[in-house]
Structure 1
Amino acid sequence: MSVAVDALYIFDDHHNCVLEHVYNGRPPSAQTLISSFTSRPLPRPSILQLSDLAPPVTAYSISHAALLLVATSSKDAQSLAILDFLYRLVDVFEDFLGCPLLANKIEDNYEIVAQLLVEMCDGGTVCNTEPNALRESVEVSSVLGKLFTQVGLPGSSPALGPAHNFSSTLRPTVTPTTGPAIPWRKSNVRHTSNELYVDIVESLAVVFAPSGRPLSARSHGSIAFTAKISGVPDLLLTLAAPGGTNSDKNSEILRTVQLPVFHPCVRLARWKDSPGELSFVPPDGRFMLAGYETDLMPSSLNTDQPPSKSDKLFLPATVDLRPGLGASGTEFEARLTLNTNFPGVSSMGKSSTSRSGSGPISSLSFGGGSSGHSHAPSLEAIMVTIPFPGDVRSVTELKPSRGEANFNTFDKVIEWKVPTKDGASINGVATLTGTVAGPLASADAEDDQFEAAEVGKSNTMAGYYEDDTVANRSEKQQTTVNGNNGATKKAHANRALMPRSIAVSFNVKGWLASGIKVDGLVVDVKKSKGLGDGVRPYKGVKYLTVSRQGVERRVS
């Protein structure tokens, strides 16, 4: 199957057609399409078969801000490829027209939009979605350029980015240097300062069972690269995984970097032959170099053997919850355990060499300061979240041992913020206690009605037998029964008001949950072009682990 797009439609939030572009075939009109599209019940999937149209078409749609983008195809096509084309179309429009993407921007710059649609999709076949390559072929005219054109001066030129200088239109065009055409990199790139930055960000998602055993633990990583370097550089980025040696380095990388995805600039053959080595010619500026996932589970769920000490899952912040405390079962206690003894910190923290140079990555370090020294990991932005059922009226007597806690009555959530001014001195356990209050018409009224009914029964029986001994014994028995039933009903009602899970959010600068680190970043001078003699780019590396309520502990 091939990517075949018949037409592209853009609608605003009132379903008015902003743009209709036909590539091939006989697609439906915009009014007919939107009528059939909106007749489907909500929520609408991204792929809809509109069989009521003539001819029947498949609609692929995405929503961005207040716009609805729909691409139609009358043939079987790769659905994900068309959806990806729509997302790339939004990115290109924002790059050329500015953010946010609005309907009036598309209407006012239709000459630019029309050129982009033709260049990105030729006759319905997606062919070019790289902004740098599109800037070489799409002409962007400005108000000042139109004024120059009216007086006989050249007024339009290829787009040069957000910092385009209109005076450059008066200068003669510079002939691009000869060399291989690279779609993702501009020609004649020049920078006064050559800099290379690597940012690796991982997002944690860990779920613990009530017993404390992890049910799932995964880390989603992204490698962002910023290249501010002249010419056409050829780079080699080397990644290292924990526990790897010279003999089994490849196996450790493949075990840690799972389901990798790469930018088109990465040479896949080099990665397959030598896992962990990324050889590429970077685009100019910041871009997403690669993405991956890592399974952090210390052992399989099917085994009964506990994990060894070296295989245990390390987390800088863990939480636990004890609900149903107190005489009436309306109290709870949350515990936050902090541990900043990060594994592998010694090797990261002792390095104090300069970040400049093109040698081994030991010269790179975390942080963007001018001191050029590496920093120990720091734990920041700690917040514990405890969701409550909708029947909870309020949570009172919140007493945190550290930080401050508030109950959001609208969302029924407790947010407990713990400050971390000094990341190296926050180890220990912090607690939070509170009392849950149910709705006003709670079990108390039901208990009163139950006790009144039981008392009425006992009085009736006492009057029937007219025996003080029997009556007194009956009253004592009924009081005991009523008290037990009342306590049981209260405990049962309060148990339904208790939270069933607790989660913690945090950021860690200078540490990755997977243990991946940059082992080298080298500029291949022989393969590079236009770099200049004696150029030693400034290099920097940052590691960041983020958990947005990603570490969760289930209670029941």
Structure 2
Amino acid sequence: MSLLALYITDSNGQQLFEYPIASSPPSNKTLQVALRDAPPEEVVVRLSKEELLFYRKQDSLVFLLPCSSAIPALVPLEFLSHLIKVLHDYFQPPISRHKLEKNLSVIMMLLNEMVDDGYPFVTEENALRDLVPYSDGLSKFLPKLGKGAAAFSSSSSSGPSMQGISSTDVGVRSNLPWRRSNVKHNNNELYIDVQESLSVIIPGLSPAQKLLNSLSAAGTSNEVGGSAFYTPALSVPQVLPEPIVAIAHGTVYATTRLSGVPDISLVLSFGNRILEGPAFHPCVRLSRWRDYPGTLSFIPPDGKCCLLQYTISGVESGPVGGDLKTGLGAGKDEFEVRLWTRVPRNVKHVENLIVEVVYDGDRVQSIKSTRASSGEFNMEKKGVGVWRFPGKTPMGWNATLRGTLVVNDDLATDDNGTVPQEYPKYIRIMYDCQGMLVSGAKVESFRIMSSRGDKDPSKPYKGVKYTTKGTDIVIRG
């Protein structure tokens, strides 16, 4: 036996749902004791030599999955991810205590299909739609069996539509496990959404590079009349260090609302870039990809699915740049953060631009004399100051922040009897950018090759969207 049980609790550990799989699984009380001593960032806790506990917090609920220690770690983690997706598909996010208690019978039937003999079995949302209708009808007769049975009844009438599935189709699995039977839509639509999250680490400048930039900045300041602490717009550093790491993690989503059984061909171009460790949805024909790299041939699930995940190294550093300088001012105790946006093609702005200034939270008491040319700067949590730019930030723009870190007086002093000055360790930039991908990937074409079972075929509405998210752009001083 691999999966032993499933418990769903609230944030205080109170049990809301129990689905035993093994004959004598560990109790929720035992699991709560183990969670009490677990580090908050962990997702697995060892219960004993033979048992592990995998858990995940979602929508103010906690999902607990005790398992045999012999099980591969990815199996229970993926099972929890699929279970939460299924619950969102059936009951709409977020999953609350009220929704859970109102639909216990449906959840029981879903788990009966999703687990077989202690192992994950049917986990695709579309396949489960064929097997478990949302309105199960058990509430009509379960109350007659007593209060215990009535606890598993469902009286909800809202939820995902079962349009296209007749009463004779329910309980019959489709030939394609990821697509439900007899799908019908009034408006045929097909959308491709390519998203890339950018992770970059840029080292600090070498002494020679710092000298070069300081001479350049001084010359520019004299020419254009720069202020005492705001670096002029023209003085973006002439020397920039090369990133140590520059990785784009990409995901290709397809959202299909197509009747019948559509067969789709999607052609992607990655230029001369090499995809590292691509992962595909089961609907993608791998043989076609091997013969024609970049071509995704597939019959999609109904709704949204992740077709492809990939990683590309050595990409550009993105539309937002910055640097961190320390040891400035008359007392050599000030730091300066400079931020600018480049001018890539087809992009007018970035959104939700945030810069975190990270420092030693134990040694630093506060930040004083903070001066920002734009945006809002606040100390929002220990060891981190946050510089925010709400709304849209245009391209070809720049901003400067300057301040001093105040060190705790009770810290150990150096040989001269003074407390060493502290500076920010690094800055982290985050943003959203629509209309571009840092890897240069793009959709060359996508079309419906055939659509079996669609009695009234119509030309679908198609669309493509590109999104780059700067999630972890670290720049050291």
Once residues 432 and 239 of structure 1 are traced to their aligned partners in structure 2, the CA distance between those partners, rounded to angstroms, is: 41
Partner of 1:433: 402
Cα deviation for residue 30 of structure 1 reads 4.2
Give structure 2 stretches of 5+ with no counterpart: 145-153, 206-240
Cα RMSD (Å):
3.8
Could you tell me the percent identity over the aligned residues?
Answer: 33
**Among 213, 220, 228, which residue is 2:249 paired with?**
220
**How far 1:67 sits from its partner (Å)?**
3.2
Structure 1 residue aligned with 2:213:
none
Map of 1:172-187 to 2, 5 A cutoff?
173=167, 181-187=175-181
SS of residue in 1 equivalent to 2:371: strand
Question: Is the 1:396–1:437 contact (alpha carbons within 8 Å) kept by the matching residues of 2?
Answer: no
Change (3 A) 1:508 1:19: closer
Hey, which of these two has a bigger chunk of strand by percent?
2
Counterpart of 1:280 in structure 2 is 298
| Match for residue 523 of structure 1 among 434, 448, 468 | 448
Q: Contact 1:319/1:503 (CA < 8 Å) preserved in 2?
A: no
Residues 165-215 of structure 1 deviation map (CA, whole Å, 9 limit, x = unaligned): 9xx99xx84669x99612222222222222111111111110111122311
Matched to 1:539, the amino acid is K
Structure 2 residue identity aligned to 1:239: L
Give 1 or 2 for the bigger CA radius of gyration: 1
Q: 1:125 aligns with which of 98, 119, 130?
A: 119
In the alignment, structure 1 residue 537 sits paired with structure 2 residue 450: no
1:394 offset after TM fit, Å? 2.9
**What's the offset of the Cα at 1:314?**
4.7
Please say if residues 200 and 542 of structure 1, whose CA atoms lie closer than 8 Å, have aligned partners that are also in contact. Answer: yes
Alignment of structure 1 residues 29-428 onto 2, 5 Å: 29-31=27-29, 33-34=30-31, 37-38=34-35, 40-43=37-40, 45-51=42-48, 56-74=50-68, 76-141=70-135, 146=140, 162-163=160-161, 173=167, 181-211=175-205, 212-243=241-272, 252=273, 255=274, 257-296=275-314, 313-340=316-343, 342=344, 345=345, 376=347, 378-390=349-361, 391-400=364-373, 403-408=374-379, 410-411=381-382, 413-417=384-388, 423=394, 426-427=395-396
Could you say which residue in structure 2 is the equivalent of 1:367? none
Provide TM-score, normalisation by structure 1: 0.67
CA pair 161-186 structure 1, distance change in 2 beyond 3 A: farther
Structure having the larger proportion of residues in helix: 1
Give the equivalent residue in structure 2 for 1:452: none
Quick one: which amino acid aligns to residue 236 of structure 1?
S
Deviation digits for residues 313-365 of structure 1 (CA, Å, limit 9, x no counterpart): 4532211122111221222222223211x3xx4xxxxxxxxxxxxxxxxxxxx
Aligned to 2:25: 27
Equivalent pairs counted in the alignment come to 429
2:435 to 497, 510, 518: 510
**Shift in alpha-carbon separation, 1:75–1:216, aligned structure 2, 3 A:** closer
What is the TM-score when the length of structure 2 is the normalising length? 0.78
- Gap change, CA 1:87 and 1:507, over 3 Å in 2: closer
Amino acid at match of 1:523: I
Kept after mapping to 2: 8 A contact 1:377/1:510: no
Cα displacement (A) at 1:430: 3.5
Give, in angstroms, the shift of residue 137 of structure 1: 1.7
Structure 1 equivalent of residue 231 of structure 2: none
State the partner residue of 1:14: 12
Q: Which one-letter code corresponds to 2:326 in the other structure?
A: P
- Residues 281-320 of structure 1: CA deviation (Å, up to 9, x unaligned): 11112222221111026xxxxxxxxxxxxxxx45322111
Question: Structure 2 vs 1, CA of residues 30 and 430 (structure 1 numbering), >3 Å: closer, same or farther?
Answer: closer
2: CA distance between counterparts of 1:58 and 1:511? 43
- Measure how far apart 1:164 and its partner are: 5.9
Distance 1:17 1:518, change over 3 A: same
Conserved? CA contact 1:393–1:409, under 8 Å? no
